[in-house]
Amino acid sequence: MRILLTNDDGINSDGLYALYLSLSKKYDVTVCAPEAEQSAIGHAITLSKPLRIKEIIKNKKFFGYAVNGTPADCVKIAVRCVLKQKPHMIISGINHGPNLGSDIMYSGTVSAATEGTILGIPSIAISLATYEKHDFSFAADFAGTLAKKFEKKGIEDGVLLNVNIPSAAKSKIKGVKITRQGKSLYKEEFVKRLDPRGRIYYWLTGKAQWIKKTDDTDIRAIEDNFVSITPLQFDLTAYSAIEALRKFKF
């Protein structure tokens, strides 16, 4: 099976390397990731500047391709220009930090997997739910488990999987839950500062506030030390509102 690996933390991230080490033992793996961190870039694509691809050497061996663009750019250019054959699967991650609730709308990690799904390739986004330094080995091994399962059974067309792994020790992880997207908001603040030339600039800070974390949500699963797997789709139509809108007299 041919697997394309990408992320939004950048080509040199520990999570991506752990994923590469785990999956390349069994699969034909290609890495194509942003040359610099692209967290919270969402599904942006580059239209106003040229994209460049660099070969990256790690431990004196060829590792993968770095692109001066976004996660979605990396998927597009890898499929269209780098790879000789279309990959059977795309895995985006391992993100250093959770992608839960409303975060998925901003996440470059999830957007890379979404782009793969748009291109008709089964895709998975995988994140480790901590911002602290952590061992990625369990998350990388779990990605291998997912790859093996979906190599045999596939993923429904138009659906990607958003996977979040608790930051707990392997012995404390209770299992796997199939979840729905919870709801989160941020308590945001723009900190006003001055640059060395006395010009005003603003720096966004914020802290997540979990709104909906009932038993079937991704947020609750992670809080309870379960791996969360949420099936997502890029069709954003609110079908429940269609009939009500048809009754309007425009």
CATH superfamily of 2-182+213-246: Survival protein SurE-like phosphatase/nucleotidase (3.40.1210.10)
Token pair listed for 126 = 């995988």
d(Cα 214, Cα 176) in Å, to the nearest integer? 16
pLDDT in tens, the chain (250 residues): 999 999 999 999 999 999 999 999 999 999 999 999 999 899 999 999 999 999 999 999 999 999 999 999 999 999 999 999 999 999 999 999 999 998 999 999 999 999 999 999 999 999 999 998 888 999 999 999 999 998 888 888 999 999 999 998 899 999 999 999 998 877 888 999 999 999 999 998 877 776 666 789 999 999 999 999 999 999 999 999 999 999 998 8
> For the whole model, what pTM was predicted?
0.92
Give the Cβ contact number of residue 237 at 10 Å: 8
CA dihedral 110, 162, 22, 27 (to 10 degrees): -80
> Where do the structural domains in the chain lie, given as residue ranges?
2-182+213-246
65 strand-pairing partners: 32, 55
